[in-house]
Structures are given as structure tokens and as C-alpha cells.
Structure 1
Amino acid sequence: MKKQFINQERLYTFTKVIANKIQKGFVVVEQNDAMPFTVLYKEGKKVNHTLNFAICCVTLGMWSLPWLYMSKVTSKGKKVLVAIDEDGVVFQEKCYLG
């Protein structure tokens, strides 16, 4: 097993990416310093269905598409993996919520 070499610049980029995610409302769920990776989670936004139904009625159904989008996409939580790969490159990847 070869030892992974991570220089200070890439480690700084890694911590900067994590700090930016935390500023955007993400919370650290899991972290490993031996194999540098961090899993972050962000709660989905709560959708007010009563208000959206009223807006949908007033706009004669035109609000149904944004309401559907909010219900299916923005209301779900997000999980992101931030890691440094074998080549020392920092990457982000969406995780599936189970």
C-alpha cells in the first residue's frame, strides 16, 4: 500500500471547499483525516403547501410547475462528499440519500 502525499496547497483547497459548504448551511456528518474526506448534509427547505395551493388557484394553475419543483427538488436534503483522490485532486460528489 503506497502512502498518499498531500501538499499544503491542496489541503488548503480541501478545507476551503468544506468551509464554503458550511457557510451555505451544510453540516459535517462524517470526517476522516487519514484518508481525507468529509461528508456534509443540508436540510431541505420546508414547502408551505397551503400558500402554494392558494397561489396556484390565483394564477389559474400556472404556479403548479414551480410548486411541483419546490416539492420534489428543493424540499429534499442534500448530501455531498468532499475528498482528495489518489492524485491529490480535491473533488466534490453528490451522495444518494437512503
Structure 2
Amino acid sequence: MYQKPTSTNSYLCFLSYHPSYVKRAIPYGQYIRLRRINNRDDLFITQAKDITERLRKRSYPQHLLKQAMERALKMIPEQLLCKPCKKRKN
């Protein structure tokens, strides 16, 4: 996954006073984004380690990162590219 040379580790710190659902969504969102662009499990795992390390430096707990990565790994990349259907109101 490409990163600009000027890229910094600017993920939200887990110790901030943001709501917990926001802090839990950040790792999951990053792993899902990575899953969309990597359809091979081995590439996903290799690059997910980099994201995991960056998030660990921002005080994210290991168990939260592991859980988010496992959820993303179970998803099929082709399904992540489809738009979800909106339910019609009758």
C-alpha cells in the first residue's frame, strides 16, 4: 500500500476523550480499506502488520486490533466493492 513520503502517524490516539465507538471504528475501517485493495490474504496480513504497528504506537489495545483485523480478513473483497442496497419504504 502506497504512502506519501510526508505521511505521519496521525491516527486518533486511543487515550483521547472521543467516544469509544469512534476509537473502535478506526482500526476496523483501516483494515477494511486494506482488504478492499488486497484480495490475497498473504498481502493483506503483511500490510495489516504495518497498520497494526502504527495503531499500537497510538495506544490502541492489541486485542481490539486483532479482533478488527480478523473481522476484515473474513470479508470477501468483492463484497466490499458493492454498494449496499437501500431498503425501500412502502
TM-score bracket, normalised by the shorter chain, equals: under 0.3
Greater percentage in helix:
2
Higher strand share: 1
- More RCO (CA 8 Å, sep 6+): 2
What TM-score does the superposition give when structure 2 sets the normalisation length?
0.25
Whichever of the two has the greater Rg, that structure is: 1
